[in-house]
Amino acid sequence: MNEMTVTPWRISCGGPVTDFTESVFSLGNGELGARGFSLRQKKRRPCDHAVFKAGLFEQIRPGITDMVQLPDVLRLSVADGCEENVHQELDMRRGALIHRFRAGRLEVESRRMVSMADSQLLCVRLRATALAEAEVEIDGAMDAEVCNLPVNDDQMTEETETIRLLQTVRQSDSELVMRTARGGHEIRFLCEIKADRALPARLMPGQSVTVEKRVRVLVDGEASNPAAQDVWAAHEAAWDALWRDCDILIEGDDRLQGAIRYNVFQLLCNNAAANPEVSIGARGLTHGRYKGNTFWDTDIFLLPFFAWHRPEAAKNLVRYRLNRLPAAKELARRQNLSGARYPWMCAADGAEQCESWDIGLCETHVTADVAYAAARCAEITGGDDITGPQARDMYLETARFWLSRFTWEEEKNQYSSFFVKGPDEYCGAAVNNTFTNYMARHNVRLALKHSPMSAEERARMEHFESHVAILYDPARELFLQDEMFERLEPMPTRKDGGAPLYRRICFDRMQRYRALKQADLVQLMTLFPGGFTRRQMQNVWDAYEPLTVHDSSLSFGAHAQLAFRLGLADKAWEYFEKSVYLDLTDGLCNTGKEGVHMASLGASWQALVYGALGLWSEGGQLAVEPALPPQIKRLSLCVYHRGERYRVTASGTGATVEKEA
């Protein structure tokens, strides 16, 4: 694995381009994403990942889609010979990936970007300097050989069967037109290559040639955007504006400063801020893992960052869910249920893509997560446009789902949930998972507060709200994960880093151990910081943190956030570092193979801003209650709250909140 050097604005490493560096050095503008592949070498296999377009999916079998992998259109080579002394560097301030290397008699530097000012544009600029007399030719052909390698839902299954989703319609030096095999989507790649001297050229020692390649990606008859006079300057100006809104200034640790900026950088690269018809997949536009689908990750882990820093982008992520309410209603109907049930793995059109029964059908909490996220976004942004009729319909239909999904147990005088999974996915399909039941009750409360309904239906919902089973042991002041958890067999040993346990232990065996894959009740505590006493939160931590093996990227940030709030400084910092450096250090041994972990990026932001800074909004009131660790001397950022911009600053002496123009 290439070891990363992290400075406040740059991430760099030496050594060759690998799957790991391709993932870490991914670029994007939310509409297009390009991995950090070598510009000179053809992809090793046609199924190796190169470029993705948000929202572009194609059927791989009836009812199941995959995010279409686009061809390697940025390839640009001006030299023969192997790459030597390779240096790779991500300039986060300017949104550019720089490769420097020696190739034969040439010293080469390439700089590429996915334009943040033009959603259709990919660019690379290459400069070659002769170390000795050299003949320079150019190869900028777009490589149309591309196919998908769909990844099975079962993470123990190694996929080897590729599928060709794109067919070439026509190709020339300046244009490549392809069409999806089944859906009929047409993708045009318009290519322009310019050099500052005629090629081929003979360079004398010290002489240079600069070549620039621009590729515009157009889908389904989309018109070309007007070209900026200077596309690089426009791109850098767009990044300047983003950093003014989204940067987090940290004093005390330059490496941490760079790492938190990397987390923010990738969040921005993978969000199509102005487009309510696309969301953010579990790996964004850095990889096709999980078929490119959207999970609860976006609603719970990513949306808060956008709500506080880019309110319109956050509203569009909510609108994406609201616009797919008809599909959620159809999914509930197919499962013999009422109302609307949001899918575990959400396709572009809102259809369920999960092919695993225990996950796809049992992880019902996603429906309440969608409702929770919409309400939190409205609380932070004050946006009337996401509290209107669509939102009221969503609250009502999702509440109806819960009334039909729970079972009334007359002898216990309670509504119970059977065969559900909370965030912890290791302990089988449970009875009365507290996370699920608590979130379902909150969902129903949102409907009761916001949605018009008949008196009869209101009475049913009020009865559910007051009788849903919430497992709590008053003697221990402890919420219980579910009815079975404490009866399971203890894990013989605790995992100590490395590959996840499901790769070492049969999943059937794993589900019968008293071990959590990731934060479950700890996660619940972070979502309702005012809903529990400090004692209750501490007891949840004491009971469940020692049993959590963190085999998911979602887990470290949630634990860090709660630990900061509880004043557990050492534990908070330990988990925060694991979260914020997760991809930069390949913490789960799968960043190269599966792409950047979007949820971990958002969880890291929440650990820092919700946990260490103590930022929150409730009832329209902005509050800050810092618990900065000693490693951070000062923390400062800008946020938007209900249409106003504030500068929030915290240090060891307290915090200030100042309104800005």
Q: How far apart (Å, rounded) are the C-alpha atoms in residues 603 and 553?
A: 9
Task: Name which residue leads in pLDDT, 152 or 105.
Answer: 105
Got the DSSP string for 394-427? HHHHHHHHHHHHSEEETTTTEEE-EEE--S--SS
Residue 51 contacts residue 75 (beta carbons within 8 Å): no
Q: How far apart (Å, rounded) are the C-alpha atoms in residues 518 and 427?
A: 11
Q: pLDDT tens-digit profile of 220-235?
A: 999 999 989 999 999 9
Task: List all residues 6 or more positions away from 485 whose beta carbon is below 8 Å from its beta carbon.
Answer: 427, 430, 514
Got the DSSP string for 478-508? EE-S-SSGGGSEEPSS---SSS-GGGTS-HH
Q: Supply the pLDDT for residue 498.
A: 67
Report, as an integer, the average pLDDT of 484-489. 94
Q: pLDDT tens-digit profile of 268-298?
A: 999 999 999 999 999 999 999 999 999 999 9
User: Residue 385 carries which DSSP code?
Assistant: G
Which percentage of the chain shows pLDDT scores above 90? 83
Helix, strand, coil abundance in the chain, percent, nearest 5: 35, 25, 40
Tokens of 394: 């969503």
Mean pLDDT over the full length of the chain:
94
Tokens of 576: 């925060």
| 25-39, 197-211, 498-512, 572-586: the lowest-pLDDT one | 498-512
Q: Give me the residues paired with residue 12 across strands.
A: 5, 89
What long-range pairs does 259-262 form, CB within 8 A, spacing at least 24? 259/6, 259/580, 259/581, 259/584, 260/580, 260/604, 260/605, 260/608, 261/8, 261/9, 261/92, 262/6, 262/11, 262/90, 262/92, 262/583, 262/584
Interstrand relation of 248-251 and 10-14 (parallel, antiparallel or unpaired): unpaired
Phi, psi for 255 (deg, rounded to 5) = -65, -40
b/e per residue, 373-390, with b = 16+ CB within 10 A? bbbbbbbbbbbeebbeeb
Residue 126 contacts residue 39 (beta carbons within 8 Å): yes
Question: What is the Cβ-side half-sphere exposure of residue 543, based on CA atoms within 13 angstroms?
Answer: 19
Q: Supply the pLDDT for residue 526.
A: 98
- SS3 of residue 95 by DSSP: coil
pLDDT band at 494 (very low <50, low <70, confident <90, very high): low
Task: List all residues 6 or more positions away from 405 whose beta carbon is below 8 Å from its beta carbon.
Answer: 337, 341, 364, 417, 440
| First-last CA distance in the chain | 46
b/e per residue, 309-321, with b = 16+ CB within 10 A? bbbebbbbbbbbb
Q: Supply the pLDDT for residue 152.
A: 75
Q: How far apart (Å, rounded) are the C-alpha atoms in residues 84 and 63?
A: 47
b/e per residue, 213-240, with b = 16+ CB within 10 A? bbbbbbbeeeeeeeebeebbebbbebbe
Q: pLDDT tens-digit profile of 543-601?
A: 999 999 999 999 999 999 999 999 999 999 999 999 999 999 999 999 999 999 999 99
Report, as an integer, the average pLDDT of 440-455. 97
Report, as an integer, the average pLDDT of 3-10. 96
Q: pLDDT tens-digit profile of 612-625?
A: 999 999 999 999 99
Residue type, 54: A
Q: Does 374 score more than 90 pLDDT?
A: yes
Its pTM stands at 0.96
Q: How far apart (Å, rounded) are the C-alpha atoms in residues 600 and 259?
A: 12
Q: Supply the pLDDT for residue 497.
A: 66
pLDDT band at 496 (very low <50, low <70, confident <90, very high): low
For residue 543, the surrounding DSSP H or E stretch is: helix 534-544
Q: Within 174-230, where are the H helices? A: none
Q: Supply the pLDDT for residue 39.
A: 84
Q: Does 183 score more than 80 pLDDT?
A: no
Q: pLDDT tens-digit profile of 411-432?
A: 999 999 999 999 998 988 899 9
